[in-house]
């Protein structure tokens, strides 16, 4: 009886002990559940906004210089003045250049008179004079030729010395030359100058005209003119100064429309399109700008592509040289998103995340798409309304007990704007 009682007592103690051990295990398991953050998966839209800074410039800007040197006689505009194309801004003393033009004009006039004389030919008086000179030379030649024939007969008969005969020959040669020259002069006067004389005179006249035009152009360059309509943004010299050709005198800009060129990383340039609208911010003032040009090559040193943006400035209240911020909505997409920190990617293994189900972390393999604003597009493996675990995911295993820090319905995947695409 005693042994039977002892066995019953031992069995009772063992049962109680096992019951207490089981209860202890359940309590320990409950106490070891990991606290995690969760959000509710939902369809929403993500916006990728890029932000850059740049310096405003006039749509056209130019530093103006004289093309000739001299002393500045006057400056006619100042900073801030508006001007139209062709407006005279400054004047160099033109005295020397005006004298050069006068000399060139006089030479051209003389060349013109010479050309007219060649082209028009001689007057009737000049023709008559030339003919009379020729007839006189002919009569003299006939007389000398008759005398020479007589002298020749006398010489051959021995009645005339050799010296006297040679003198007669010389007189005949001179008379023949005089007549030939007089006849040529008469023909030239009668029929005009030869073609080569006319061409030479024409060439001299054209050269004199070119020199006159060049002198006139040089004189005009003593006036500095605006090449386009705009505003004076800098006056760089004063009247009385002696300047060389090429010295900077004024800077002007066309500021009815401003431009800014920003350096966009080449990996993002596909998100920028010509004609798109961007927001330009200057000290809190915002204006719309339009992407006008995307430069055709990336900088090898910076890996960026220049994007030129134009914006209207009708009141001229934004100034060339001011630094602005440019905001561009590069991408917009509606999808099911999960925070980057909630998705585990390990080598070649398919990406996965954990969802909260009945106090457990359940592993889900997912297909991912775009990354915008630290949010990954989830193409498959997750449904809207499920609770995504967003913390401690690297230390979780499938089936681990977890406790949410917040109520699951209090958070959902955010729709954000701003930041860069990963």
- pLDDT tens-digit series, residues 164-193: 888 889 999 998 998 888 888 777 776 665
CATH 2.40.30.170 residue window(s) in the chain: 50-59+254-330
Record the tokens describing residue 149, joined without a space: 């024939």
Record the tokens describing residue 317, joined without a space: 């209240």
Determine the Cα–Cα distance for residues 15 and 22; give it in Å rounded to an integer.
Answer: 11
Listed in order, strand segments (DSSP E) in 299-416 are: 304-312, 323-339, 352-357, 360-365, 367-372, 375-380, 387-389, 402-404
Record the tokens describing residue 210, joined without a space: 């070119």
Q: Closest Cα to residue 82, out of 252, 236, 239, 310?
A: 252
Determine the Cα–Cα distance for residues 327 and 417; give it in Å rounded to an integer.
Answer: 11
CATH 2.40.50.100 residue window(s) in the chain: 64-96+217-249
CATH 2.60.40.10 holds for 64-96+217-249: no
- Which class is 50-59+254-330 in CATH? mainly beta
Single pTM value for the model = 0.53
- Which class is 34-46+333-410 in CATH? mainly beta
C-beta pairs of 130-138 under 8 Å, 24+ apart in sequence: 130/182, 130/185, 130/186, 130/189, 130/190, 131/186, 133/182, 133/185, 133/186, 134/179, 134/182, 134/183, 134/185, 134/186, 136/182, 137/175, 137/178, 137/179, 137/181, 137/182, 137/183, 138/179, 138/182
Chain position carrying tokens 């798409």: 369
Chain position carrying tokens 């080569």: 196
State the pLDDT confidence band at 307, using cuts at 50, 70 and 90.
very high
Q: Burial of 417 by CB count in 10 Å (0-12 exposed, 13-18 middle, 19+ buried)? A: middle
Residue 278: its H or E element: strand 277-282
Determine the Cα–Cα distance for residues 89 and 416; give it in Å rounded to an integer.
Answer: 53
Determine the Cα–Cα distance for residues 111 and 204; give it in Å rounded to an integer.
Answer: 7
State the pLDDT confidence band at 370, using cuts at 50, 70 and 90.
confident
Mean pLDDT of 245-249: 95
Helix, strand, coil share (%) of the chain residues, nearest 5: 40, 35, 25
Is the predicted pLDDT of residue 102 greater than 60, yes or no? yes
Mean pLDDT of 251-267: 93
Point out the least confidently predicted range of 36-40, 347-351, 353-357. 347-351
Is the predicted pLDDT of residue 242 greater than 60, yes or no? yes
């Amino acid at each position: 009886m005693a042994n039977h009682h002892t066995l019953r007592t031992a069995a009772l103690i063992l049962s109680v002990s096992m019951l207490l051990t089981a209860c202890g295990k359940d309590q320990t398991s409950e106490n070891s559940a990991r606290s995690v953050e969760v959000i509710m998966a939902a369809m929403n839209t993500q916006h990728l906004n890029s932000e850059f800074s740049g310096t405003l410039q006039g749509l056209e800007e130019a530093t103006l210089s004289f093309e000739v040197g001299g002393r500045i006689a006057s400056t006619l505009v100042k900073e801030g003045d508006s001007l139209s194309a062709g407006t005279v801004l400054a004047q160099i003393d033109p005295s020397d250049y005006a004298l050069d033009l006068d000399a060139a004009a006089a030479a051209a006039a003389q060349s013109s008179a010479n050309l007219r004389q060649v082209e028009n030919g001689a007057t009737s008086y000049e023709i008559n004079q030339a003919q009379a000179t020729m007839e006189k030379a002919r009569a003299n030649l006939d007389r000398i030729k008759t005398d020479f024939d007589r002298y020749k007969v006398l010489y051959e008969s021995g009645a005339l010395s050799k010296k006297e005969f040679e003198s007669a020959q010389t007189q005949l040669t001179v008379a023949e030359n005089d007549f030939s020259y007089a006849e040529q002069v008469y023909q030239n006067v009668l029929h005009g100058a030869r073609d080569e004389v006319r061409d030479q005179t024409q060439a001299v006249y054209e050269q004199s005209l070119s020199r006159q035009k060049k002198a006139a152009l040089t004189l005009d360059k003593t006036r500095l003119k605006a090449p386009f309509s705009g505003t004076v943004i800098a006056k760089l010299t004063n009247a009385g100064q002696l300047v060389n050709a090429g010295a900077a005198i004024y800077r002007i800009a066309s500021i009815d429309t401003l431009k800014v060129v920003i350096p966009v990383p080449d990996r993002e340039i596909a998100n920028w399109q010509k004609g798109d609208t961007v927001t330009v911010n200057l000290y809190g003032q915002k204006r719309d700008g339009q992407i006008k040009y995307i430069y055709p090559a990336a900088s090898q040193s910076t890996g960026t592509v220049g994007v030129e943006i134009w914006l209207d400035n009708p009141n001229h209240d934004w100034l060339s040289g001011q630094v602005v911020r440019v905001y561009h909505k590069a991408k917009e997409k509606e999808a099911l998103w999960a925070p980057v920190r909630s998705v585990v990617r390990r080598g070649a293994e398919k990406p996965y995340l954990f969802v909260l189900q009945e106090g457990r972390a359940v592993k889900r393999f997912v297909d991912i798409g775009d990354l915008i604003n630290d949010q990954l597009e989830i193409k498959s493996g997750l449904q809207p309304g499920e609770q995504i675990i967003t913390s401690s995911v690297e230390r979780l295993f499938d089936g681990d007990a977890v406790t949410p820090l917040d109520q699951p319905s209090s958070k959902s995947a955010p729709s954000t704007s701003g930041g860069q695409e990963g």
